[in-house]
């Protein structure tokens, strides 16, 4: 087994063990919240999923810029893979948020700035993924999609800052670093551990997808070569 393969299995193992460990902490160790009861526990997935999606968008931006600078198609493959994973985690964030909102707000969805901007960003990144399927030539696809990814990124900033810029139904910042009230230490510890677990899990998914995208590009190249012959 080559080194890269071993690293991938190790990362998967660490992410898996960490998620199981955190699940025990979330359902058994931490107490119910004073006002919300048990349902607040979904936050231990809702917030880490949002952070993971945000980090993924950052990597997609970096991959796109690096592609435009170096014209190395691996960076384009990285941007594509990490966007797919980021969009998945973004939808996890939205769906867990809706499940939380139903008992707490009494509605599944509210058109406030945070929810709306998150949905819009996800739609924009879904557009990026659809644009990839509409362009056949790999270098044109990489170039146009890199530009699209750069255009889409300001939406992520708007989503991130929306709870500070507008009065939203969505809770304001909770981390102390962003001026929020902070968490009880045992809750913060589990939250951070689960954030790490989901980021590791997203990394594993991105690496697997990256290899698939690169293999797909190689196959497309070989097919074109065969047609030329």
Partner 1 sequence: MNFFRQSLTIAAKDLRSEFRTKETLNATISFSIVILLLFSFAFEPTEEEARVLSGGLLWLVFAFAGVLILNRGFARDLPNDCLDALIASPISGPALFFGKTIANFTLLLAVEFICVPVFGIFYDVPWTLQFWPIVTVTVLASWGLCVVGTAFSAMTVNLRLRELMLPMLVYPLMMPSMLAAIKLTGVLVMGQPVSGDLFQWLKLLIGFDVIYTALALALVDIILVG
Residue with tokens 């293999």: 215
Q: Which of 99, 104, 120, 208 binds partner 1 (CB under 8 A)?
A: 120
C-alpha triplet 14, 19, 20: angle, nearest 5°: 100
Contact 190, 30 (CB under 8 A): yes
* CA distances, 94 to each of 41, 42, 98, 191 (Å): 15, 12, 6, 18
Backbone angles phi, psi at 173, to 5 degrees: -60, 135
Token pair for 9: 């299995």
Touching partner 1, residues 124-163 (CB under 8 A): 124, 127, 130-131, 134-135, 139-140, 143-144, 146-148, 150-152, 154-155, 158
Does 66 help bind partner 1 (rule: CB under 8 A)? no
Closer to partner 1 by CB, 116 or 206: give it. Answer: 116
Q: Is 208 in the site for partner 1 (CB under 8 A)?
A: no
Distance (Å, rounded) from C-alpha 124 to C-alpha 6? 35
Q: Output the smallest distance, CB 223 to partner 1, in A.
A: 19
Report in angstroms how near the CB of residue 120 gets to partner 1 at its nearest: 4
By CB under 8 A, residue 166 contacts partner 1: yes
The answer to whether 172 contacts partner 1 (rule: CB under 8 A) is: no
The owner of tokens 């592609």 is: 67
Residues in CB range of 59: below 8 A, 6 or more apart: 78, 79, 82, 86, 206
Least distance (Å) from partner 1 to the CB of residue 209? 22
Print the binding letters for residues 4-43 with partner 1: x by CB under 8 A, - otherwise.
Answer: ----------------------------------------
Q: How many residues bind partner 1 (CB under 8 A)?
A: 28
Asked whether position 93 contacts partner 1 by CB under 8 A, the answer is no
Does residue 94 contact residue 118 with C-beta atoms inside 8 Å? yes
User: By the criterion CB under 8 A, which residues form the site for partner 1?
Assistant: 68, 116-117, 120-121, 123-124, 127, 130-131, 134-135, 139-140, 143-144, 146-148, 150-152, 154-155, 158, 165-167
């Amino acid at each position: 087994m080559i080194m890269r393969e071993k690293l991938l299995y190790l990362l998967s193992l660490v992410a898996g063990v960490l998620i199981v460990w955190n699940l025990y902490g979330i359902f058994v160790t931490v107490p119910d919240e004073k006002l919300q009861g048990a349902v607040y526990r979904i936050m231990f997935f809702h917030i880490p999923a949002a952070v993971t999606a945000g980090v993924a968008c950052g990597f997609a931006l970096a991959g796109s810029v690096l592609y435009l600078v170096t014209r190395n198609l691996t960076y384009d493959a990285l941007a594509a893979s990490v966007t797919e994973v980021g969009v998945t985690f973004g939808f996890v964030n939205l769906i867990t948020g809706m499940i939380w909102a139903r008992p707490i707000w009494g509605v599944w969805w509210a058109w406030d700035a945070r929810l709306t901007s998150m949905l819009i960003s996800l739609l924009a990144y879904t557009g990026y993924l659809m644009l990839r399927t509409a362009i056949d030539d790999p270098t044109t696809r990489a170039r146009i999609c890199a530009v699209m990814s750069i255009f889409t990124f300001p939406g992520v900033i708007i989503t991130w800052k929306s709870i500070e810029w507008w009065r939203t139904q969505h809770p304001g910042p909770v981390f102390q670093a962003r001026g929020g009230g902070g968490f009880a230490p045992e809750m913060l510890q589990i939250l951070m551990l689960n954030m790490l677990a989901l980021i590791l899990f997203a990394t594993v998914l991105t690496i697997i997808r990256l290899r698939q995208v690169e293999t797909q590009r190689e196959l497309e190249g070989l097919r074109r070569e065969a047609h030329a012959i």
